[in-house]
Structures are given as structure tokens and as C-alpha cells.
Structure 1
Amino acid sequence: MGLTTSTKTFKERLEDSKKDGFMQKAVAKAQDDQWVKREGARDELGHWEQWRELGEQIRQHTISYLPDYLEQFSDKVAEQGGKVFFAQTAEEATEYVKQVVIEKKAKKVVKSKSMVTTEVDIDPMLLNLDGVSVMETDLAEFILQMDDWDEPSHIVFPSIHKNREQIRQVFAEKLGYQGDNDPVNLARCAREVMRKFFLEAEVGITGCNFAIADSGVINLNTNEGNADLTISIPKTQIVLMGMERIVPSIKEAEVLDNLLARSAVGQSLTTYVTFAGIKNEDESDGPEEFHVVILDNGRSNALGTAFEPVLQCIRCGSCLNVCPVYRHIGGHGYGSIYPGPIGAVLSPVLGGYKQFGELPYASSLCGACTDTCPVKIPLHELLIEHRRVMTNELNMQHGFDDFQMRVVGKATATPSLFKMAMKIDHVGLAPLSKKKEITVENMFQYGGYIAKGPGLVKGWTDVRDLPRPPKSSENFRSWYKKHKAGEKND
């Protein structure tokens, strides 16, 4: 899988998304439910905007001094007997993990939820090793694994596109489950399978919400406890983290944990907030070997550029939960393991424009993502910056699309041409207009709506109603002149 989740083109993925009615309803319901929970949890905390400003300052400071904090963290891990490996690429990261698993002669590996492990394709690598079995221990990721490693569709809720009956069918086929589709019973089935695997696993692999620079420990936030079991039972632990996921001390981690829980799942605090490292001599559980793989994999492309703020991300998924585009196309429409607004900004940074150049255009630029981000990443501004780079610096906008945009730009920037267009738009669009029953006041009273717009407009009219413009004598400008004249006469 890696960073890319589909071999289909962007248009093909959109067509699939438009046909998936269940997914659209599931995403819409999740967004609506999360809105209530998220805003309630934020209000409960109080002074939310000040918390956001503090979170932004912490992340900006850390990114500004990233080499220093990474070095400090690495030294602290080494002091405690752990090992740190800096991986420039996904291949280097997977090779390091592979060598550890082979060296330990491990046969069973347990994994807690981690976007980075998915990004570098850890699962396929492990499954290709002779005699090695892998178990995803996050319930949602476990469901996707049982369903032949289906693609995740959300940063926080990977299996949001599946309903309970679909999950029951997967469990019945793959696990011999014979119960109903009650979520409690399905969870119990998964728990029974996982617990046996936990007790036999030699290696545990986790991600990392935040690495604590001055103490050399990692901070994990989970609601199921699976990450704690992944850390405490296997003798060897491997942590994979993006190089930006670091904070100076536990004080900053506590601030970000508060922001993360409220923004991701609408809770005051996640059920399990864990700080862990190599096992101490006086402890009864924990890893005897502790490895941390710190991954670049394109993140350094953002440093010192206009896209540097994207590295502030704490992977809460809040921007997905307010995005109108994500609401309609779901996670699979983006073709990246990082979907939604954050994915539309981050994926081109990590994977390049050739692979993900369509994503910055998959946005209405409404700004809801920027408004909800707990660390104040200007997401919609970064989407515009991607478009500017592709259009102006890389000259990627060309052909008929470029010609259309130049014509529109010229017409809207020239008063005489704009006035002319306002006079003929009603008549000129008549051949493209279709009659439709009036369901909203004034919506279609001027002779229908545009069903199949020309050129770039088609992308809009395929999924939205575009009313036919009124006659020149009845448009807003004409009305306004009459209205002002009437005021003077009065």
C-alpha cells in the first residue's frame, strides 16, 4: 500500500465514491456526531483559542529547532540502552525493522495503529518473511486486515466506510464467527483472537504520538489499550515515528494530548495516555530491547518552505470531520493514506505532484479545516500555495484548461467585458439550460438550471445545481440601481 492506496486515476476514484451511497451516509453521520462531541469537549476545556495558540507555538518552536530536539531525544534513548535509527526513506525504515525481526527470530509480531507503519509498507514486508505472522491490534485496523487488508479511509477511524453487517460477514468468513452483528459481540470476537496473539508475540511495533526529547520516552494515546499490550508483553519493541513528532518535554506533550483528544474523538482525554520506553530494572513488564526508527521520507521537503506548517500536524483528523469534500468522496477518493484537507496538503509534499497533484484541487477552499485545526495550520492557504506552485513555478497547468482560466481571468478583470457578459449570460446559456421544478425560492425561476456546463464548469454541474442567470434587466445590479433610485425619490 505505502503512501498510495489505489492504482486508479483520480476521476475513477471519484466515480467509485459517487456510487458508494453507504459510505457517504456513514461519513456524514460521523461528521455530524463528531461535531457535537468535539465542540462540547472544547467548550468544557474553556479558552479554546488560547489553547490553539499555545499548541501552535509548541509545534512551531519544535519544528524550528528540530535537529536539536531529535539529537537530544536520540541521546536520551541511547543512555537508557535503546537504539535509534534515522531513516531517510521508507525502504531504509522497513529494512531496519526487517533486520530486527530476523535477528530476534520472531514468528509473531503485534502492531498497534500507526499511520507511519502504513506509509512505509511494514505489513507486506513482514508477511513476506518466512514463518512470520502479523496482527493489527487496533480494532478498526484489525477489521481491515481481516477483510484482505482493505484500504483505510480515515486517519482516526480507518474502517468508517464499513457497517456492522459487513464486519460480521468478514468475521464469519475469516474467523468462523457465528454471532450477530452487535458491535459488543464483534469486539469480543476480535479481542479473543488478539489476546492469544499478544501472549505469543516476540516483537511489538507501535507508532508514536509524541516523542519526549528530554527524557527519551514516547507518548501514545489510545482508547482500546492495545498499544499498552503491544509495549508491555513482547520482549522487543520497535517504534516508528515521523521526524516531526517530537516535543521538548512532558509539559508540552500534556498540552498536545489535551488538544488531540478533544479534536480527534471529542473526549477530555483518551482512555490510555502512555509514556513508555525500555524496561527499567525494577519493572516487571516492558521491552528488554527498544528500537526507535525516526522517518524522514519526504518530510524535509517542507522545511524552510511555505509548506513547513504542515509538519505541525498532530494527526487528530479534525479537518476531515468538517470537510465538505471529504463528506462526499470519503477517504478512498483521495488515493492516499492521508486523506482529507491534511492529506491534500501533505501527500504532494511526501509523494510529489505527479502522484498527488490533483489533491490540492479537491477542495472548496471554505476554510473550515483551518478554523478547526487545534494547532492552527493554515490548510486552505497551503492548498492555494500548492496550486500556485503547480501553475506558476512548475507550469503544470496547460492546454485547454489553462486557456479557459486565462479567458475567465481576462473577462473578469476587464470591466467592459464583464458588463458584456452580464448582458448576454441569460441568452447565451439558454441551450445548456434545463427546466426543473422550483423547490427553493428563486432558485430556478429564470428558466431552469445548467445541467452540463462547458469545460471546467462541468466538474461543478455534474454534482450541483447551477441556476441559469437572470435576464440583464432582472439581475442584482439592475435591481440595486432601481432600489437606490427609489430611495432617492422617497
Structure 2
Amino acid sequence: MNQPTSHSDTPSAENLAAHGAVVQQFHPRARVALENPQIRRNFRNAMDGLMSKRRSAFEGWELETLRELGANIRQRALANLPDLLEQLEKNLTDNGVRVHWANDGDEACRIVRKICVARNAKTVIKGKSMVSEEMELNHYLEEQGIEALESDLGEYIVQLAEETPSHIIMPAIHKNTEEISELLHEKTGTERSHDVNYLTASARQQLREKFMNADVGVSGVNFAVAETGTLCLVENEGNGRMTTTVPACHIAVTGIEKVVGTMEDVTGLLALLTRSATGQHITTYFNMISRPRQFNELDGPEEVHLVLVDNGRSTIYQDDELLATLRCIRCGACMNHCPVYTRVGGHVYGTTYPGPIGSILMPHMLGLEATQHMPTASSLCGACGEVCPVKIPIPDLLVRLRRESVDGDSERPSNVRGHGVKRGHLEAAAWLGWRWMHSQPWLYRLGTSVSARFRKLLPRTMGGWTRYRSAPKLAPKTLHQMMAQRSSSVRPSARMPQSSNVAQRGNLS
């Protein structure tokens, strides 16, 4: 492949309608979340702790220098993305790993199913993978009669609750210990307890048998190293290592943007990822996978597959400004510091990726028709941009997508599907009139004069703008009218002649 190509398959009308219906409910869901004190306490406590840990983890580090390094590594990789993907495919293939390409999530699901069918697999154990959530892989496999079980503790809890992750790093962060205890008791028979160690050990025991009996293991990828053909997985629980080594077949799924050039590039990104995500200096496990099990090795899978998923990423790649979105290393720091996300949680967004990163990523995956409210679900305080470890200008991209959603210039090229979806005929006519009025001085003077004279007849509400703001009130007179009246009221005799001023200065001297 010479360069990432935009996918030809677009989401079906049914899928867009379904996703759109969910995202359109953002404001009603947000109001419900704000009125739920338990949700607000859960998120407030969790986010305060994560922000504090992040600050402590970067103490003694030149944070801005490290962020600049991370941004440069990711930008360099994206600049060479087509070549790096070819290099990655070649080296992985040489190592015995089978590489597959998927235009979208549906095609990626079909590829995974084909591999499972070829091995007559009936059970799949999954490590944490946001791309698999993006693909809705669990739901797809279940429809095909293949059991898919999450092995990450947070994902396992969310799966038992029949929910989706509310955070990209900590999927069950919206639940407290009491809620988790009740859920495990109801679903697995675990005794009710507030002892976190006991609850964790119980879940681990239940999952251990699943690891040993699973036919296929599915995982995500944090970094794919092109130079060596290595898949890197970052984790804390050991479930990722079990998922990728115990089953006879391992399938890794990842977005095409996760590739980096060298192992040296991984070093700087890993230091940023762990500290930004959970406030750790290093995670418990760092897995590097380059090949299937060899004849003289005692463990590891017989087959390793990598599914590279596009799903709208090539469209982002073609836009010089929006390209920065693909730098993301999925640390979740922007979400942890977002005043909107931390008060309503991830489920309110109704999408795979919530929070600031979701608001600039999901419009490319689902189109602005389905996600038009996401770019505006932000106060534009700038916190997300300030903490992003790879310096993604998230606030600028949110503003860009807001403009895209209301832009009526059909001749301006746009790579964002749903361009201009929020622009109405009435609003377009109003702005056209505003431009015409301000380009004609006589019309401007007439319009402001008439508006000031009949200001009491003007509407007191201005759509959504005055829902949370006071409507502007016109003054009885325009500034020009007041200045003209003031000038005419000053009598010539009241003005002191210049000669008098000179005389006064002479007397003072």
C-alpha cells in the first residue's frame, strides 16, 4: 500500500440512525446524570485521585520537554504512516504473523470470525481493546454463536452489567465498591463484601478456567513497532499476557495509526502513557509479541494474527489539521481533567470513545449527522489540550468540528462526513442579512436606529442561546446618536480659546 486509502464502505442508514438516536440523547442523559448524586460522587472521587497521581508521577520530570518528544514521535510516525505500515506488515509476515486489513469495523469482525471458524473455535477470551469495542466485536461474535468473555477486570464487570465502558482506561470507573460487590454476587454468586482484594481474587478465580479452555485469545495493541515487527501491550493485571499466550490462537486488533518506527520511540511514549493514564511510573506488565510459538518453545500460541482497522482513520489522515487526532495514545488524561466528562460520565455520550478525545474522533467514524452534539459538549476551557501527553490541540479541533457542522459553504472541501448538518435555512438567511447590513453603512445606520426605537418589540429569547444566557438589551440610542447629540449640546462659547491656554501657562510660569 502506498498510502492509507479512505474506506469505501460507509455506515448503513440503519446504523447511522441507531447511533444518531443515542448521541442525540446527550442533553437528556446529561441532565439525568447531573441529578444523580451517586454518579457524581463516583466520578469526582475517581478523577480527583487520578489527577493527583498524574501530578505526582511527573514530579522531577521536564514535562513539557517530554510532551514535545511524544508529539514529535507520533507526528513523525504519521508523516511516514504508509511506509511504516508496509514495513510492519513485511516484518510481521517474515516473523510468521498473519496480517489482515479491514476498511471498517464490520469487515474486521468478519475477519475475526473467519479465523475462529477455520479453527472451529467456540470460545474467545479477550484482553482490553478499545478497537474491539469500536467494532462491537462481542455482540457480533455472540450472534455467530461464539462466546466472547472479557478478561480485564473492569471490562469483565461492565460485561456482567450488560453495559459499555464509561472510560477508555478504567471501564467500570462509574461504579463504586458496593455496586460492584452486589453485581458480582448477583451474577456469579460471590459473597457481598467491601474487601477489594477478595472481590478481585474471586473474579480472577472465575476467569482462570476461562483462560485455560478458550480456543482463541483477542487483544488490542498499544504500539506496533515497524522496525522489528513487534506488537506491544501495556497492562497491570496479567490478563493480557494470559490472553496472548494460553489460547492456541492469538488475534490482535488495532487501528492503523498505532504504528511507530522503532523500539526507541516506544520508550518515550510509554513513559508518557503510564504516568498520564494511571499515575504509574511503569505498568506491571509490558508484553512484546513478534511471532507465534516456535518448535523449541514451551508456551505461546500456534498462530498469531494482526487485524489493522481503518474505520475512518484514512479520512482523518487526509486533513492536515485534523491529522493531529491520530496522535492519541489512549491514555484518558483529557477525560480525567474535563469538567464536562467528570460530572456526567462516559455513558452520557453514547459512543465508544467519550469525553474530549471522543468528541474529535467519533464524528469521523459515525459522521456529524450522528454526532453533531459531541463537539459542543465542551466548555473549551483548554484543560484537555494542556494535559494531553502528545500535545493534541483538542480545543482547536473542537472549534474546527463546530464550524464544520454549521458551515454552509458547499464549495469549501471537507473530509468530515455530515459537513453543514446543523446549518438551518433561517440561520443562513440571518447571517446573510447580517453580512449585507454591515457592508452598507446607510443600511447599518438605518437598521440600528430602527432596532433601538422599537427595542421593546424585539423577542426576549433567541433560541438555544438564551436558554442559559441573558438576552442582550438594545440601548435607547445608538452610540452614533449619543455622540451627535453630545457634540450639538456643547456651545462654542464654552470652549476655551487656544490663546487663553497660552496666557494661562505664561502666568503660571
SS in 2 for 1:59: helix
- Structure 2 counterpart of 1:66: 81
- Structure 1 counterpart of 2:40: 24
Summarize deviations over 1:288-334 as a string: whole Å, max 9, x none: 10000000011001113121100000000000011111122211121
- Structure 2 counterpart of 1:439: none
Counterparts in 2 of 1:29-428, with a 5 A limit? 29-44=45-60, 46-130=61-145, 132-148=146-162, 150-277=163-290, 278-305=292-319, 306-392=321-407, 393=409, 394-396=419-421, 397-399=423-425
The separation in 2 between residues aligned to 1:174 and 1:412, in whole angstroms, is 66
SS in 1 for 2:340: helix
Conserved in 2, the CA contact under 8 Å of 1:22 and 1:161? no
The separation in 1 between residues aligned to 2:383 and 2:390, in whole angstroms, is 14
Shift of 1:379: 0.4
Conserved in 2, the CA contact under 8 Å of 1:17 and 1:332? no
SS in 2 for 1:293: strand
The separation in 2 between residues aligned to 1:323 and 1:240, in whole angstroms, is 28
> Amino acid of the residue matched to residue 260 of structure 2?
V
Shift of 1:282: 3.7
Q: Does the C-alpha gap of structure 1 residues 468 and 250 become closer, same or farther in structure 2, counting only changes over 3 Å?
A: same
Shift of 1:6: 8.1
The separation in 2 between residues aligned to 1:15 and 1:414, in whole angstroms, is 44
> Amino acid of the residue matched to residue 384 of structure 2?
C
> Amino acid of the residue matched to residue 106 of structure 1?
A
SS in 2 for 1:73: helix
Summarize deviations over 1:345-379 as a string: whole Å, max 9, x none: 00001111101111111111111111110001000
- Structure 1 counterpart of 2:31: 15
Q: Does the C-alpha gap of structure 1 residues 344 and 407 become closer, same or farther in structure 2, counting only changes over 3 Å?
A: farther
Summarize deviations over 1:26-66 as a string: whole Å, max 9, x none: 2222221111110111124x111111111111111111111
The separation in 2 between residues aligned to 1:177 and 1:40, in whole angstroms, is 36
2:464 is matched with which residue: 456, 463, 468? 456
The separation in 2 between residues aligned to 1:348 and 1:408, in whole angstroms, is 30
The separation in 1 between residues aligned to 2:171 and 2:114, in whole angstroms, is 29
Shift of 1:5: 6.9
Shift of 1:402: 5.8
Q: Does the C-alpha gap of structure 1 residues 406 and 172 become closer, same or farther in structure 2, counting only changes over 3 Å?
A: farther
SS in 1 for 2:54: helix
Q: Does the C-alpha gap of structure 1 residues 406 and 228 become closer, same or farther in structure 2, counting only changes over 3 Å?
A: farther
Q: Does the C-alpha gap of structure 1 residues 37 and 405 become closer, same or farther in structure 2, counting only changes over 3 Å?
A: farther
Further displaced range: 280-289 or 294-303: 280-289
- Structure 2 counterpart of 1:435: none
> Amino acid of the residue matched to residue 49 of structure 1?
E
The separation in 2 between residues aligned to 1:390 and 1:378, in whole angstroms, is 19
Further displaced range: 325-334 or 343-352: 325-334
Shift of 1:408: 9.4
> Amino acid of the residue matched to residue 95 of structure 1?
R
Conserved in 2, the CA contact under 8 Å of 1:5 and 1:151? no
TM-score between both structures, scaled by the size of structure 2: 0.80
Structure label with greater radius of gyration: 2
Shift of 1:74: 0.6
Summarize deviations over 1:214-249 as a string: whole Å, max 9, x none: 111111111111100101101100000000001111
Shift of 1:119: 0.6
Further displaced range: 280-289 or 324-333: 280-289
Q: Does the C-alpha gap of structure 1 residues 406 and 271 become closer, same or farther in structure 2, counting only changes over 3 Å?
A: farther
Unaligned runs of at least 5 residues, structure 2: 1-14, 410-418, 477-509
The separation in 1 between residues aligned to 2:193 and 2:431, in whole angstroms, is 55
Shift of 1:82: 1.3
The separation in 1 between residues aligned to 2:468 and 2:122, in whole angstroms, is 52
Conserved in 1, the CA contact under 8 Å of 2:20 and 2:369? no
Conserved in 1, the CA contact under 8 Å of 2:166 and 2:354? yes
SS in 2 for 1:292: strand
The separation in 2 between residues aligned to 1:58 and 1:188, in whole angstroms, is 39
SS in 2 for 1:361: coil
> Amino acid of the residue matched to residue 318 of structure 1?
A
The separation in 2 between residues aligned to 1:411 and 1:59, in whole angstroms, is 47
> Amino acid of the residue matched to residue 191 of structure 2?
Q
Shift of 1:409: 9.6
> Amino acid of the residue matched to residue 187 of structure 2?
K
Summarize deviations over 1:94-114 as a string: whole Å, max 9, x none: 011001111111122110110
Conserved in 1, the CA contact under 8 Å of 2:20 and 2:370? no
Summarize deviations over 1:175-207 as a string: whole Å, max 9, x none: 112231322221111111100101111210000
**For this pair of structures, how many residues does the alignment match?**
444
The separation in 2 between residues aligned to 1:364 and 1:246, in whole angstroms, is 32
TM-score between both structures, scaled by the size of structure 1: 0.83
Conserved in 2, the CA contact under 8 Å of 1:86 and 1:295? yes
Q: Does the C-alpha gap of structure 1 residues 352 and 467 become closer, same or farther in structure 2, counting only changes over 3 Å?
A: closer
